[in-house]
Amino acid sequence: MNGATMEVGAVAAMRYVKDGIKAARLVMLHTEHTMLAGDQASAFAISMGLPGPSNLSSTESMEKWAKWKENQCQPNFRKNVVPINSCGPYHLRKDVNLDQKTCLVEDKIKSSNVNLHNHDTISMAIFDKSGHIAVGTSTNGASFKIPGRVGDGPIAGSSSYADDEVGACGATGDGDIMMRFLPCYQVVESMRLGMEPRIAAKDAISRIARKYPKFIGAIFAVDKNGVHAGACYGWTFQYSVRSPTMDDVEVITVYP
């Protein structure tokens, strides 16, 4: 996202192309769209010169998948369904009342499948010498997700957001929950109204935690003057900062 023009480029559910951030930037620079998804996003990225199609599996990821299959495809992100065998196909449970109230209660009490060991989000905000801000977020997504799932990574306002007039925000955690609140948009708008970054980040996280007490996530916020802070829930979070006047990166630890 370009904080000067508010332009956004995103790719979602993109396979066979390794560099999601470069692909997203190509969408922003060379199309009038905001997001491309699926195999057509891959085709666009390759047509614009990115390497591919490539097999992005690693020995580690294949071993992880094999163990998951041996464990009868658990954990997974399904609810209110039953499998024909341990790994599906899945069908609706006939003994569950699928009204809105039931679903909301299940969402609140279900423990998250997102933890410190099964996601890999990187979110970054950069200021240039003129004070213009750019943000970007890249992720492989949650492990064992349902095919076709898109998390909060490519959603402007959820995983990251920037406005030169105010500042920027980046986020990580349970993207399926976080994208329902657009926490980074909330942070930037709170700073616009005068909140300092620390309070704005804490407020955005608290809004989510009140509805989903088993949620895991974190936010960093930075205003246009470079004042920064973080907030988290369900884990201890770290973010790093580097400015031209610093000799090395400073790592900031944020506690729940």
pLDDT digits (tens, 9 = 90+) for 186-205: 999 999 999 999 999 999 99
- Average of pLDDT values for 74-102? 80
The SS3 call for residue 82 is: strand
- Looking at the chain, the whole-number percentage of residues with pLDDT higher than 70 is 91
21-68: per-residue pLDDT in tens?
Answer: 999 999 999 999 999 999 999 999 999 999 999 999 999 999 999 999
Fold adopted by 116-254 = Glutamine Phosphoribosylpyrophosphate, subunit 1, domain 1 (3.60.20)
| pLDDT reported for residue 148 | 93
How many whole angstroms separate alpha carbon 58 and alpha carbon 14? Answer: 17
With 0.85 as the threshold, say if the pTM is over it: yes
Cite the active site residues: 121
Question: Could you write out the three-class secondary structure of 108-175?
Answer: HHCCCCCCCCCCCCEEEEEECCCCCEEEEEECCCCCCCCCCCCCCCCCECCCEEEECCCEEEEEEECH
The model's pLDDT over 101-146, given as tens digits with 9 standing for 90+, comes to: 443 334 444 445 555 555 579 999 999 999 999 999 999 888 899 9
- Inter-residue contact 225 to 202 (CB < 8 Å): no
Domain ranges of the chain: 1-56, 59-109, 116-254
Other C-beta atoms within 10 Å of 228: how many?
19
**Which residue in this structure is represented by tokens 């895991």?**
216
Largest CA distance in the chain: 63
Half-sphere exposure of 177 (CA within 13 A, CB side): 28
What mean pLDDT, rounded, does the chain reach? 91
3 contacts 135 by C-beta, under 8 angstroms: yes
b/e code 115-132 from CB counts within 10 Å (16+ = b):
eeeebebebbbebeeeee
